[in-house]
Structure 1
């Protein structure tokens, strides 16, 4: 079976960021299938061109990683959320279409992934051109997420257009792949049958946690400075959606009561500079920021921590559920998790893998409790690992996707005969 994925922001192994496409594709390849991923050559996280040299010609190039074919589409560089970012999105959409025409073999299934809706629409357009099945993967509920984060006003012209595009993709898709456990209810609210919905949440590559890759010298030296500290770690994007001021609020409260508890922030994003400045201005000597590291090194870093930290906005959006990569990373590393949110029945609670808190005060209190209850929190970490092994390993999740693909391709072949 041949499976094409259109995800503007997909990354190869050895990079920092979300490796969902790679983790799923690697397992499909092991089952004898061919996977091609069309992604932007310009890296969204580092804001750097990663795959074309400055004087290199062409609008696409093909590389292979672990048997997975990546088609890197050359896109317009950008720094902030300005006109160049719009051009980046449009250049991926247009050049991605023409790049797909250069690939001679024909896919059985084409999946368009929403991180922005044009990538998903591109997947649909290619599926029509190639007469293939179309899967729509909705990682974030667009434009629902944008409305709830306050980036667009409800009822505005652009929001209406985005809702219509979402509905169009729902109708055209053979499968709607969702990551949130209650997202099928959102799809149903749009008037679409939930029979189309396939729940494939995020997960963990347990192989990475069983065979840890050593950290680089600079990261090891940074951690050496924190030796003897009780480390609460946050890994991931430092953006508005990540609500990281709550963690700094908790650091301020915790510092007054226990100087042996340290907060470690690992990652990058538009808010990082401001957050770092705030920590300096407020003399938060119990806070350290380090740069992103490759996904493959995350298990080695988490091994040096004592608790994983997450802070989420109190948004109505989360009534549809959540599927944060870092939750599964923490749990796979046997790291107990403290999550600040207002979501009922979180995965942390289901697995008895840590604590849910409602604000910075409670987060600080749970950190202090964890510091004084080492055996109890270690057991919570073990509970989390067991839960991930049962429900969220990429091997299991890939099998869910593969079973649906086999059924759909077989049915489609019978219909065409």
Structure 2
């Protein structure tokens, strides 16, 4: 069968960020299916153009049998009107380019990182007379309310709820990433049989690639800190990632620990300024790296960090890629969030800090029994291999598709 995925922010193997659809698609291709991913050529994490440097409006690339169609979109730096233009140009350009792309999809997936990509998926599915799956990733607009970005009485919220209702109704299936999110969708009057739980996960083959050459800055860092316990964070440096708590904790943590923060985002410059102005010597902020380097980097670290800014949205669950990266590389994880029933807790492979984050993180590290880290890491590894493995979960998705095609 042929599957088209519309995900504005999807990335390939040579970029930093989440590789959900690339990893899924690789295993779908391995099972004999064709997959096309329509994504922006402008990287949302790095705020840089990565694929289209001339006047061309789109370009095709194939990685591991997965066909990416990179779409030209408006460039931006912050969360202002230019980012809205970026979304609008993705919708417009991807819509036009999809008409030029050869193929007859059996299924179109519209992924909601923002609503326009999901709506576009529906439009293309209708035009192609294909199945349509709506991937409800971040529970828009509810997450915008819970994170305090918009009030429930804002006209934008009413409009987004209307779009969500439309997509719920029109979709043949609704994909959710958090197990408890099934309850959210059901609360909107949707039958549970229509919902697919397909969380983020890991690519087992990537775990064997732990000998790639690292950037010189990281090579030097690991050499200089080879006798220390390295506590690592990889991912976006934004407000929701609560990294200031890590810097606060580092100032009252034993000198035996070194904190390595890798990534990019709107708060990065502020964090760099804090490290310099406050003379924080045991924190190193490194540039974002290609996803392919993550296993090599994590193999040299000892503990993974997952700080989250408190929000009611987490009652529906969490499914961050970095958590599964840590666990699949046998790192015990420290989660900073007042949350229950997370994958970390189900695996019993780390620690959950629910309050006074910086003080309790420092206390946890200072009192940690280093000998138990290996045992925690092993439990996390076994859990993700069984429950968050794209090789297994891609087959689950195929069963749903085949069932719907045979109706």
Question: Which residue of the partner structure matches residue 152 of structure 1?
Answer: 150
**1:321 and 2:320 correspond:** no
Could you tell me how far apart the structure 1 residues matched to 2:172 and 2:269 are?
Answer: 43
Q: When the two structures are aligned, how many residues end up with a matched partner?
A: 404
Question: Which residue of the partner structure matches residue 312 of structure 1?
Answer: 308
Question: Which residue of the partner structure matches residue 394 of structure 2?
Answer: 398
**1:23 and 2:23 correspond:** yes
- The answer to whether the 8 A contact 1:188-1:194 is kept is yes
- The answer to whether the 8 A contact 2:36-2:66 is kept is yes
Question: Which residue of the partner structure matches residue 13 of structure 2?
Answer: 13
Measured after TM superposition, the shift of residue 217 of structure 1 is 4.0
- The answer to whether the 8 A contact 1:42-1:74 is kept is yes
Match of 1:338 among 330, 334, 339: 334
Measured after TM superposition, the shift of residue 394 of structure 1 is 1.1
Gaps of at least 5 residues in structure 1 are 412-417
- The answer to whether the 8 A contact 1:178-1:184 is kept is yes
**1:169 and 2:167 correspond:** yes
- The answer to whether the 8 A contact 1:230-1:261 is kept is yes
- The answer to whether the 8 A contact 1:215-1:301 is kept is no
Q: Secondary structure at the match of 1:247?
A: helix
Comparing 357-366 and 226-235, the one that deviates more = 357-366
**1:407 and 2:407 correspond:** no
**1:143 and 2:141 correspond:** yes
- The answer to whether the 8 A contact 2:41-2:70 is kept is yes
Question: Which residue of the partner structure matches residue 257 of structure 2?
Answer: 261
**1:81-115 per-position Cα deviation (integer Å, ceiling 9, x unaligned):** 22221111111101101111001211000000011
Could you tell me how far apart the structure 2 residues matched to 1:178 and 1:213 are?
Answer: 34
Could you tell me how far apart the structure 1 residues matched to 2:367 and 2:209 are?
Answer: 31
Q: TM-score, normalised by structure 2?
A: 0.97
Could you tell me how far apart the structure 1 residues matched to 2:46 and 2:245 are?
Answer: 25
Could you tell me how far apart the structure 2 residues matched to 1:333 and 1:3 are?
Answer: 30
Q: TM-score, normalised by structure 1?
A: 0.95
Question: Which residue of the partner structure matches residue 190 of structure 2?
Answer: 192
Could you tell me how far apart the structure 2 residues matched to 1:247 and 1:241 are?
Answer: 13
Match of 1:70 among 48, 68, 87: 68
**1:355-388 per-position Cα deviation (integer Å, ceiling 9, x unaligned):** 1112222211211233xx2221111011111111
Q: Secondary structure at the match of 2:367?
A: helix
Match of 1:108 among 98, 103, 106: 106
Question: Which residue of the partner structure matches residue 247 of structure 2?
Answer: 248
Comparing 217-226 and 347-356, the one that deviates more = 217-226
Match of 2:285 among 268, 286, 289: 289
Measured after TM superposition, the shift of residue 213 of structure 1 is 4.1
Question: Which residue of the partner structure matches residue 414 of structure 1?
Answer: none
Question: Which residue of the partner structure matches residue 415 of structure 1?
Answer: none
- The answer to whether the 8 A contact 1:213-1:296 is kept is no
**1:102-161 per-position Cα deviation (integer Å, ceiling 9, x unaligned):** 012110000000111000000000011111110001110101111111211111100110
Could you tell me how far apart the structure 2 residues matched to 1:248 and 1:390 are?
Answer: 34
- The answer to whether the 8 A contact 1:17-1:236 is kept is yes
Rate the CA distance shift 1:405–1:65 in 2: closer, same or farther, 3 A.
same
Comparing 218-227 and 314-323, the one that deviates more = 218-227
- The answer to whether the 8 A contact 2:209-2:296 is kept is no
Rate the CA distance shift 1:217–1:72 in 2: closer, same or farther, 3 A.
closer
**1:8-46 per-position Cα deviation (integer Å, ceiling 9, x unaligned):** 011111211000010000000000000000011111122
Match of 2:83 among 82, 85, 90: 85
- The answer to whether the 8 A contact 1:214-1:300 is kept is yes
Match of 1:381 among 352, 377, 382: 377
Could you tell me how far apart the structure 2 residues matched to 1:4 and 1:262 are?
Answer: 43
Could you tell me how far apart the structure 1 residues matched to 2:181 and 2:361 are?
Answer: 28
Measured after TM superposition, the shift of residue 284 of structure 1 is 1.3
Q: Secondary structure at the match of 2:265?
A: coil
Give me the CA root mean square deviation. Answer: 1.2
Question: Which residue of the partner structure matches residue 273 of structure 1?
Answer: 269
Match of 1:368 among 366, 369, 383: 366
Could you tell me how far apart the structure 2 residues matched to 1:194 and 1:17 are?
Answer: 31
- The answer to whether the 8 A contact 1:13-1:295 is kept is yes
Gaps of at least 5 residues in structure 2 are none
Could you tell me how far apart the structure 2 residues matched to 1:381 and 1:182 are?
Answer: 25
